Structure formats: structure tokens, C-alpha cells
Amino acid sequence: MTARRIVLLGPPGSGKGTQAVRLAAWLGVPHISTGDLLRSEVQNRTKLGLQAQSFMDRGELVPDQLVAEMIRQRIKGATGFVLDGFPRNIKQAEILETVTTVDRVLHFQLDREEIIRRLSARRVCPQCGAVYNLISSLPQQDSLCDKCKIGLVQRSDDTPEVIQRRIDVQYAREIGPMLEFYRKRNVLREIDAQGDIESVYQAAQRALE
Ligand code: AP5
């Protein structure tokens, strides 16, 4: 049976968001991205958004309790989801386990050089959040979102210094214990994320069977 409660782990820029959109459509389950949820809170200037913004701007994790409540409300009772960006540390993995069971965890592996190359070329639609890339996923019309037809922008945390911090502080420091946590539960699968979008997608689909 194909897994339906899925967690994607991986460094920034490893393609979690790109693959989450495809996998969620394939499985007919919601794509839940903590990054997207937080950016929407920031844009709407909510209390949570105002608290989260400075952490995001610095490339640091937003405090666990702020993110945990947001995610609890989204997944409580859900029979399927593709969770992109949560958990980010062992505390969050433990919180998730109190809310739901996870069928499969995919860990995307990508080297630092390629992370920086992909994130420096990433452009997003400020309206619908669609993700493009100046090297690998160009829009049909120069710098315009295919759907909304408005100008694409660069994410404010996609600067070289903030990318380095996101890799070091959020990912490298936290990933080891999380992999161990999910390996023990026999749900972890490693995915080589160096290939093109289609070949990574096929590898992810195989890992869910
Ligand atoms: P978030 O938005 O989750 O950022 P991230 O984890 O750093 O991940 P990214 O969105 O940068 O990368 P991705 O892996 O989704 O790659 P993508 O598919 O876009 O979080 C933002 C911030 O929110 C965090 O820094 C933190 O402050 C906070 N936050 C979020 N969750 C939190 C939590 N749980 N706890 C605390 N704080 C939290 O791909 C990247 C680019 O590459 C794109 O241009 C894409 O088109 C391209 N691409 C994708 N795949 C390929 C491929 N195979 N080949 C070539 N190009 C590709």
C-alpha cells in the first residue's frame, strides 16, 4: 500500500517544496509547508508572524512552541498529508508523534554547492507562492508567474549569508538525531536529490510504495 502520511526532510533548497506539491497531488492529500504557513503569517502581520519574522530573517528556527501549535491544528485527524518543513528537530519530531502516526519519512540529500546554486537561482510568485528556477524551471514568459502573470521575486532569506546559516544552524546541527529517531521506527528512506526534478520525483514515488 502507498504511504499517505509523509514527512520530507532535507537541507534548504533540496527540493522538498517542489516534490511535496507533486507528491501531494499524486496522493490526493494536502501539502502542509511550515515555511509557507509562516510566510503567510508574516505577510498578514499576525501576532505569530511578527514573532516569527526576525528568526526567519536571520535563518534561524522559529521557536518550537509557536510552530507546534500551528501544525497541530492543521494535521489533527488528517488521514493523509505531505509535511514539508516539519519536524526540524528532535523536539518537533516528538511533538508530531503525539498528534499523528507517520508512514514514511523521505530524507533528501544534496551537497552544499548545489544547494547554494539552486537557492541563488530560485524565484517565487509573491501571489500564489509557485516556485521557479532561473536554471532548471524557467517560467514561460520572462520573470512572470505562469498562472498569476505577475513579476517573480527572490525570497528575502535566499541571500548567501542566510543560506549558509540555514544549512548550518537549522539543518546540519539537527538532522542527525532526527534520522536516528525515524530509522528506529523503520520509516526512513534516503533520496538522492542531485538529479533533475523528474528523476527525484520518481525516486520519491518508489520510496512510498
Ligand atoms: P522553508 O520555507 O521550509 O525553507 P527551507 O527548509 O530552507 O526550504 P526551502 O523552501 O528553502 O527549500 P526546498 O527544499 O523546499 O526547495 P525548493 O523545492 O524550493 O522555511 C523558511 C523558514 O521558516 C526557515 O528558515 C525557518 O526560519 C522557518 N521554519 C520553517 N519551518 C520551521 C519549523 N518546523 N520550525 C521552526 N522554524 C521553521 O527548491 C529550491 C530551488 O531549486 C527552486 O528554485 C526549485 O525550482 C529548484 N529545484 C528543485 N528541485 C530541483 C532539481 N531536482 N533540480 C534542479 N533544480 C531544482
Residue 1 pLDDT class (50, 70, 90 cuts) = confident
> Among 88, 104, 118, 123, which one carries the catalytic annotation?
88
Q: Is 201 in the pocket of ligand 1 (CB under 6 A)?
A: no
What type of residue sits at position 154? Q
Whether 122 sits among the annotated catalytic residues: the reply is yes
Distance from the alpha carbon of residue 122 to the mean position of ligand 1, in angstroms: 10
Protein residue closest via CA to atom 39 of ligand 1: 15
DSSP 112-150: HHHHHHHHHTEEE-TTT--EEETTTB--SSTTB-TTT-S
Q: Which residues contact 96 (CB under 8 A, 6 or more apart)?
A: 7, 71, 83, 86, 87, 102
What is the average per-residue pLDDT within 134-150?
Answer: 95
- pTM tops 0.85, yes or no: yes
Residue 126: is the preceding peptide bond cis (ω within 30°)? no
> Cα 115 to the chain's mean position, in Å?
13
pLDDT in tens, 18-55: 999 999 999 999 999 999 999 999 999 999 999 999 99
- pLDDT computed for residue 205 by the predictor: 98
Q: Is 197 in the pocket of ligand 1 (CB under 6 A)?
A: yes
pLDDT in tens, 103-127: 999 999 999 999 999 999 999 999 9
Cell digits for 8? 520530507
Distance from the alpha carbon of residue 37 to the mean position of ligand 1, in angstroms: 13
Q: Rounded to 10 degrees, what is the CA torsion of 35, 38, 39, 41?
A: 160
Protein residue closest via CA to atom 30 of ligand 1: 35
- pLDDT computed for residue 159 by the predictor: 94
Q: Is 131 in the pocket of ligand 1 (CB under 6 A)?
A: yes
Q: Which residues contact 81 (CB under 8 A, 6 or more apart)?
A: 4, 5, 6, 24, 29, 30, 31, 32, 74, 75
Q: Which residues contact 141 (CB under 8 A, 6 or more apart)?
A: 149
Cell digits for 22? 507533486
8 A C-beta contact, residue 13 and residue 119: yes
- pLDDT computed for residue 2 by the predictor: 87
Distance from the alpha carbon of residue 35 to the mean position of ligand 1, in angstroms: 8
Query: How far, in Å, CA of 64 to CA of 185, rounded?
Result: 22
Distance from the alpha carbon of residue 105 to the mean position of ligand 1, in angstroms: 16
Whether 39 sits among the annotated catalytic residues: the reply is no
Share of the chain above pLDDT 90, in %: 96
Q: Is 85 in the pocket of ligand 1 (CB under 6 A)?
A: yes
